[in-house]
Amino acid sequence: MESETLLTTMHWGTYEVRAENGRLVGVEPWSGDPDPSPIGKSMLGTVQGDLRVARPAVRRGWLEGNRSTTNGRRGSEPFVEVSWETALDIVAAELDRVRVEHGNSAIYAGSYGWASAGRFHHAQSQVHRFLNTIGGYTSSVLSYSYGAAEIILPHVLGGTDGLTGNHSTWDGIERHSKLIVAFGGLPWRNAQIQGGGAARHEAAAALRKAVGNGARLVNVSPVRDDAPRGVDTEWLPLRPNSDTAMMLALCHVLVSERLHDEGFLARYCTGFEIVRAYILGESDGQPKDAAWAAALSGVAEDRIVALGREMAAKRTMLMVSWSLQRADHGEQPYWAAITLAALLGEVGLPGGGFGFGYSSTNGAGRPEMGFRWPSVPQGKNRVPDLIPVARIADMLLNPGGSFEFNGAAMSYPDVRLVYWAGGNPFHHHQDLNRLVEAWQRPETIIVHEPFWTATARHADIVLPVTTPLERNDLAFSNRENLVVAMKQAIDPVGEARDDYQIFCGLSARLGASEAFTEGRDASQWIRVLYEQAKDNAGAAGVEMPSFDRFWQDGHADLARQVTSQTLLGSFRADPERNRLATPSGRIELFSSTIDGFGYNDCPGHAVWREPREWLGSDLAERLPLHLLSPQPADKLHSQYDHGSVSRAGKVSDRAPLWINPVDAAARGIQDGAVVLVSNDRGSCLAGAVLTDGLIPGVVQLPTGAWFDPAEPGQPHSLEKHGNPNVLTPDRGTSRLAQSPTCNSTLVEVSLFAGVIPAVTAFDPPVTVSSLNRPGVAGPIPRS
Ligand SMILES: Nc1nc2c(c(=O)[nH]1)N[C@H]1C(S)=C(S)[C@@H](COP(=O)(O)OP(=O)(O)OC[C@H]3O[C@@H](n4cnc5c(=O)[nH]c(N)nc54)[C@H](O)[C@@H]3O)O[C@H]1N2
Ligand SMILES: Nc1nc2c(c(=O)[nH]1)N[C@H]1C(S)=C(S)[C@@H](COP(=O)(O)OP(=O)(O)OC[C@H]3O[C@@H](n4cnc5c(=O)[nH]c(N)nc54)[C@H](O)[C@@H]3O)O[C@H]1N2
Ligand SMILES: [Mo]
């Protein structure tokens, strides 16, 4: 029996995979990972399962000439399977038609999404590089993860350090922090993930060590379980989206009791006087005191005062999860947290200051490698049109419409063709019923997918792609010192091809072969990327073995040069020489730039603005529950929702909805019951889990259940599987960042009456082998 064990890296960990006679038979965590994630197990049974896209497939109506579909055909019609030759001919001709008739800006290929780990076969890199060789595409900027932060932080701090990297490292926190206040908590589940690939999971241990060394940890969140597992924590529950009010009140305690650090404010910050007048209520008549914040947040007044005093007395680290800024006015909690940290005056000291997203991934708090990992070069996009990523439905519904963004007046291009490789908008976007409608507008939608996800089902042309187990690649990941030779373990499933191979076929048809490939095949590209990495590392004093040695060994464990860093430490040491990249060179507690935009929804300093949708709004009389939709513990987003680990976490076949027993009793809901979660935007079914681990008035439904409408293609159909994005609002945080606000959602929950419909998201779609012969997708041929 032929059997081989190889290493592969996914966003949730590095695994030893074993194949026998062409079948994947084992997935075990890499022995070097001290705290591995179970998610990898889900690859068994799915990578070679019946939800793989077996062959290229085209929507029947599209082949018959029905392009844009106002009557909901997209998402409901069967697919016709075609050969690769036919599929590539069709796609190339369609790209050419659209660019000639409408110009390249009519091609939208933001193609947001996580795809898979692996530096070369990174789907977005491939699709963007390819389209740049044929004239470009309308692109997207920012992320669903932390779009509001990506815009506000450069105005305040001059960059995104402390958000995406260069956090103060755990060692300083372990040794010096005496109080850690975590807004949004530090849920262990999220630190399973590291974008680009995880090797050693170390975040949970670092946190345990900090608390073991005497730091007191406070979890400020509506959800008790946002505290890290097995760590002594105080739970300070608050009403969702009220953190900014609480932070401003903590500032009020410091200023009114003269506990703030005037020296720090004078030397390192601008705008304190304006902020002070706002905090004390001199500028608007409302002091932001603890009584005021208590009424908004539900946290007792004396608890806020005591916490403010404790912060002033101890070395305090403010940690703010990324989730807080995925809410209405999501810019504000970040600006308010920085303001609070500046008043405390410990920014730039180990164990003090602030940081964003500790435990939102495994990476925050780990030292940087000190050099950049190379990626596939993108070339130049000649199309200037772009959108903030979460404005996609707005763009498709309002071609030519205008919008404001970070001080600029912009307009939406007229998109005719959407190209997606490596993402799942029917997972990630808000208000999916609105997306279903917007998605009918383009003339053609092309998707590359390994699996029959909702996005594949809502496409016109689906091209089947390999998973990392079916190709060779390299894992380079930020803050990871393990480089992995991701060797092909099994043959491509069905007729799947690599994204790269597909774009080779298209570029050849469009006369761009040389520009796209530079004459290299995949293995040559992998070698080139490795050599670049070796050069970059070498220049930073980090030695990497030769490529051949590395490939033979299967991985390389690199010695770190950087082991410790403190966010804004060098700025603190010498603010003149190490000026920040803000207009003043300092931390901008007041920004004349933002003030100059004249946005009432994001004025010149941190402010409290009531969310349009939260427990304090009038709507709460009719929709009395605040819905949080966090990341799922048992998978990454929608990936491998059909796998064993995710399925084990379903309740009555659906995503689990956490609800407080008080709220459940008032609605006659018992543990395990199928419930209807609804608001004016949509409704879904979920499985009730009764827990006092969240406050009454708040329910939680994780993301990731594959979108499963009872009537595909029709907006406002009941969603059967528990996808929270049929409920979330599709509105920008503010005119500044225009970023997602999924965590500002009100709903009602009731016991589902009637016949409970079966979940069908995991049934393969209907395909027909020719235009008139209906049938069901046959078994995937195994080579
Ligand atoms: N309500 C709510 N919504 C949210 C969030 C929330 O907190 N609440 N969080 C948001 C956040 S932070 C994010 S980052 C997004 C995540 O949204 P996405 O990144 O879009 O979600 P994924 O499920 O990771 O989608 C990746 C897709 O790529 C496919 N894929 C994997 N490998 C390959 C490959 O090699 N090639 C190709 N072509 N495809 C591949 C996978 O099968 C999968 O369908 O969701 C956002 N949506
Ligand atoms: N297992 C797993 N881990 C993941 C991912 C995944 O899909 N699965 N996705 C990864 C990605 S792409 C990202 S961007 C990160 C996201 O990382 P985060 O944004 O930090 O994660 P979330 O799970 O959305 O939210 C964390 C907690 O914030 C709390 N919260 C929500 N709203 C509020 C509020 O208004 N105030 C307070 N105080 N708390 C609030 C919720 O209770 C929630 O449990 O996670 C990454 N890690
Ligand atoms: Mo994200």
Total number of domains in the chain: 3
CA distance 2 to 575: 63
Q: What per-residue confidence (pLDDT) applies to 69?
A: 65
Q: CA 725, CA 23: separation in Å to the nearest integer?
A: 36
Q: Whose CA is nearest to atom 13 of ligand 2?
A: 145
Nearest CA to ligand 1 atom 19: 113
547 located within any domain? yes
CA of 225 to the centre of ligand 3 (A): 20
pLDDT, tens only, 9-35:
999 999 999 999 999 999 999 999 999
- Asked if residue 97 belongs to a domain, the reply is yes
- pLDDT class for 3, splitting at 50, 70, 90? low
Q: Are residues 349 and 392 in the same domain?
A: no
273-286 tens-digit pLDDT: 999 999 999 999 99
Q: What is the pLDDT of residue 778?
A: 38
Q: Are residues 644 and 585 in the same domain?
A: no
Which H, E and C letters describe 319-374, residue by residue?
EECHHHHCCCCCHHHHHHHHHHHHHHCCCCCCCCEEEECECCECCCCCCCCCCCCC
Q: What pLDDT, on the 0 to 100 scale, is given for residue 72?
A: 64
Same domain, 425 and 515: yes
Name the residue among 589, 161, 590 with its Cα closest to residue 341: 589
Query: Does the CB atom of residue 241 touch ligand 2 within 6 A?
Result: yes
List, for residues 504-547, the tens digit of each pLDDT value.
999 999 999 999 999 999 999 999 999 999 999 999 999 999 99
How far is 33 from 30, CA to CA, in rounded Å? 6
Nearest Cα to Cα of residue 767 among 560, 524, 462, 484? 462
529 and 426 fall within a common domain: yes
d(CA 655, ligand 3 centre) in Å: 19
Q: Which atom of ligand 1 is nearest to the CA of 146?
A: 12
The percent of residues in the chain predicted with pLDDT above 90, rounded, is 92
Closest Cα to atom 26 of ligand 1: 423
- The residues near 598 (Cβ < 8 Å, ≥ 6 apart) are none
Q: Is the pLDDT of residue 776 over 60?
A: no
Q: Is the pLDDT of residue 493 over 50?
A: yes
Establish if 585 belongs to a structural domain: yes
190 with 207, same domain?
yes
- Centre of ligand 2 from the C-alpha of residue 144, in Å: 12
Would the pLDDT of 443 be above 70?
Answer: yes
d(C-alpha 383, C-alpha 136), whole Å = 5
Q: How confident is the model at residue 713 (pLDDT cuts 50, 70, 90)?
A: confident
- Using DSSP's 3-state secondary structure scheme, residue 578 falls into coil
Residue listed under structure tokens 């069901």: 776
Cα-Cα end-to-end distance for the chain: 16
CATH number of the domain where residue 352 is located? 3.40.228.10
Q: What is residue 774's predicted lDDT score, i.e. its pLDDT?
A: 44
**Local structure of residue 226 (DSSP, 8 states):** G
Burial tier of 573 (Cβ tally within 10 Å: 0-12, 13-18, 19+): exposed
Q: Rounded mean pLDDT of 679-683?
A: 98
Range of the domain at 217: 167-367+571-597
Q: Does 654 lie in the same domain as 527?
A: no
With bands split at pLDDT 50, 70 and 90, how would you rate the model's confidence at 67? confident
User: Which two structure tokens, joined as six digits, stand for 710?
Assistant: 């009872």
Average pLDDT over residues 412-433: 98
Same domain? 423 vs 541? yes
Spacing, Cα 636 to ligand 1 middle (Å):
8
**Residue 782 predicted with pLDDT over 80:** no
Average model confidence (pLDDT) for the chain?
95
| C-alpha dihedral (656, 658, 664, 668), degrees to nearest 10 | 0
Domain membership flag for residue 774: no
Atom number of ligand 1 nearest to Cα 113: 19
Closest by CA position to 771, among listed 85, 77, 88, 93? 77
Ligand nearest to the CA of 360: 2
Residues 323 and 414 in one domain: no
How far, in Å, are 357, 669, 743 from residue 650 at the CA level? 27, 17, 22
Q: Are residues 649 and 38 in contact, defined by beta-carbon separation less than 8 angstroms?
A: no
Domain match, 91 and 240 both: no
SS3 125: helix
Same domain for 663 and 747, yes or no, is yes
Question: How many whole angstroms from its chain centre is CA 205?
Answer: 24
What b/e readout covers 687-699, taking b as 16+ CB neighbours within 10 angstroms?
Answer: bbbbbebbbbbbb
**Domain holding 625: CATH number?**
2.40.40.20
Least confident segment among 64-68, 622-626, 669-673, 752-756:
64-68
Tell me how far the alpha carbon of residue 116 lies from the centroid of ligand 1, in angstroms. Answer: 9
CA of 423, nearest ligand number: 1
Q: Residue 623 corresponds to which tokens in the numbers above?
A: 């929709």
pLDDT for the residue 237: 98
Minimal CA–CA distance to 166: which of 541, 606, 576, 571?
Answer: 571
What angle do helix axes 499-509 and 84-102 make, rounded to 10 degrees? 60
Contact 412, 399 (CB under 8 A): yes
Counting ligands in written order, which one lies closest to the CA of residue 457?
A: 1
Verify whether ligand 2 is closer than 6 Å to residue 322 (CB atom).
Answer: yes
pLDDT for 310-363, tens place per residue?
A: 999 999 999 999 999 999 999 999 999 999 999 999 999 999 999 999 999 999
- Quote the tokens at residue 196: 């680009």
User: How many angstroms separate the CA atoms of 98 and 636, rounded?
Assistant: 34
Answer whether residue 441 shows pLDDT above 60. Answer: yes
At residue 48, the 3 state secondary structure works out as coil
**Nearest atom, ligand 2, residue 700 CA:** 42
Residues 6+ apart with CB under 8 A from 619: 613, 746
Same domain, 190 and 123: no
Catalytic residue among 12, 62, 108, 114: 114
Ligand nearest to the CA of 645: 2
114: annotated active-site residue: yes
pLDDT grade for 714, boundaries at 50, 70 and 90: confident
- Six-digit token string for 4: 């081989």
How far is the centre of ligand 1, averaged over its atoms, from the C-alpha of 424 (Å)?
Answer: 5
Number of helical (H) and strand (E) elements in the chain, helices listed first: 24, 30
User: Does residue 504 sit in the same domain as residue 379?
Assistant: yes
Q: Is 60 exceeded by the pLDDT of residue 781?
A: no
3-state secondary structure of 190: helix
| pLDDT at site 204 | 87
Considering the entire predicted model, what is its pTM?
Answer: 0.97
Q: Is 630 in the pocket of ligand 2 (CB under 6 A)?
A: yes
In tens, the pLDDT along 211-256 reads 889 899 999 999 999 998 888 999 999 999 999 999 999 999 999 9
Question: Using one digit for the tens of pLDDT, what is the confidence trace for 83-141?
Answer: 999 999 999 999 999 999 999 999 999 999 999 999 999 999 999 999 999 999 999 99
Residue 783 has pLDDT above 70, yes or no: no
Q: Ligand 1 pocket: which residues have CB below 6 Å?
A: 113-116, 121, 123, 144-145, 326, 421-424, 427-428, 448-451, 453, 465, 499, 629, 636-639, 703, 724-725, 728, 742
Single out the catalytic residue among 112, 188, 334, 551.
Answer: 112
